Amino acid sequence: MTTSAKPLLLSVALAALALLGVALYLQFVENMLPCPLCIMQRYGFAAVALICLVTAMLPQAASRAGAGLGLIAALTGGGVAGWHLWIKAHPAVSCGIDPLETSLNKIVTAKLLPFLFKADGLCTTDYDPIFGLSIPQWSLAWFVVFALALSWLALRRTR
């Protein structure tokens, strides 16, 4: 891979970390409680950030494999965001106080970092859109951007 892999990996990692910062702002300043699917999306952003940061620090030869792992994390997060949008479109379905929330809140990271990974809200809660899009729509859009960037890194040919 050419030298452009590391800056792109760092850019994706910083964007994912910034989105986690936005999530914390919405939670603590705007009082938007995260639901179980929001928390799963946070794990997706954290995984993308961590994988990209670690890969950027590894030798250039590891860039393709790291980008592939980051791509898997982005696609998984995008799938969760898509499921969240489906639930919001079908209000009769809910992921509120259910086994998903209970099991997510028992994970070690939820106990160590409850401000970031503890689910307290309901997936069907309607919050005001941000620049015309709901939070899961923004999440899906960013996961798509990350997936496109990481797939480009993972699939491009070396010279």
pLDDT digits (tens, 9 = 90+) for 111-123: 899 889 988 877 7
Residue 135 phi/psi, 5-degree rounding, is -60, -45
With cut-offs at 50, 70 and 90, classify the pLDDT of residue 157. confident
- Does residue 28 sit within a domain? yes
Kindly report the average pLDDT of the chain as a whole number: 89
Domain with 144 in it: 5-152
As a whole number, mean pLDDT of residues 18-25 equals 97
Give the model's pLDDT for residue 1.
Answer: 40
Residue 123 belongs to a domain? yes
Residue 158 within any structural domain of the chain:
no
Structural domains of the chain, count = 1
User: How much is the pLDDT for 78?
Assistant: 98
Q: What is the CATH number of the domain that holds 121?
A: 1.20.1550.10
**pLDDT at position 3 over 80:** no
